[in-house]
Amino acid sequence: MIKFISALLLTAVISTGSIGGEEDTARIRAWGAMSEAQRIEAPIEYKAAACGLSAETFDLLSRVIEAESDRSDNLEGRILIAETILNRVSSSSFPDTIEGVIYQSGQFEVVSNGMIYTVGRTKLSDQAIIEAQKRIAEGSAPNVMYFNATNYQYGDPYCYEGGNYFVTV
């Protein structure tokens, strides 16, 4: 299963043209040889390369996920936050970069209140990005596009997880 996921990630990264050169290619190959425990402890450069992201983008995404989460050990809630951001990048209704989605005016309270600058990334939020990327690549991720912790008003939610209501479109 690990080799399948690594091959899937490598194929996705190569097809999007997001590899930053030989160094990232070497990191992706090393990622494929790692155990799950080693992946959790891997440096950010390896995690980012495995997802086809720069270390800076991966760090930003992880910090947003951490800040938007309920700060428990709830991995599924973090995965859904990651999927929401990544699904928005793929949608014509939102900016086409992770940074564009995250910094879009009025979208993420943790950006407007500065919380993303005070919260560090965590292994759990890093893991959420990796899992979200895998689920999206496999086609098993729900098309969540919105989440909200309070004042839920958008009809029936897909689910309530990790302190947030998630909505699919």
Average pLDDT for 158-167: 74
Q: What is d(CA 159, CA 164) in angstroms, rounded to the nearest whole number?
A: 8
Fold (CATH) for 55-169: Arc Repressor Mutant, subunit A (1.10.10)
Rg (CA), the chain: 15
What residue segments make up the domains of the chain, in order of their start?
1-52, 55-169
Q: What is d(CA 50, CA 88) in angstroms, rounded to the nearest whole number?
A: 20
54: helix, strand or coil? coil
pLDDT for 115: 94
For the stretch 140-153, pLDDT in tens is 888 888 887 666 66
Q: What is d(CA 105, CA 100) in angstroms, rounded to the nearest whole number?
A: 9
pTM: 0.82
The type of residue at 48 is: A
Inter-residue contact 12 to 52 (CB < 8 Å) = yes
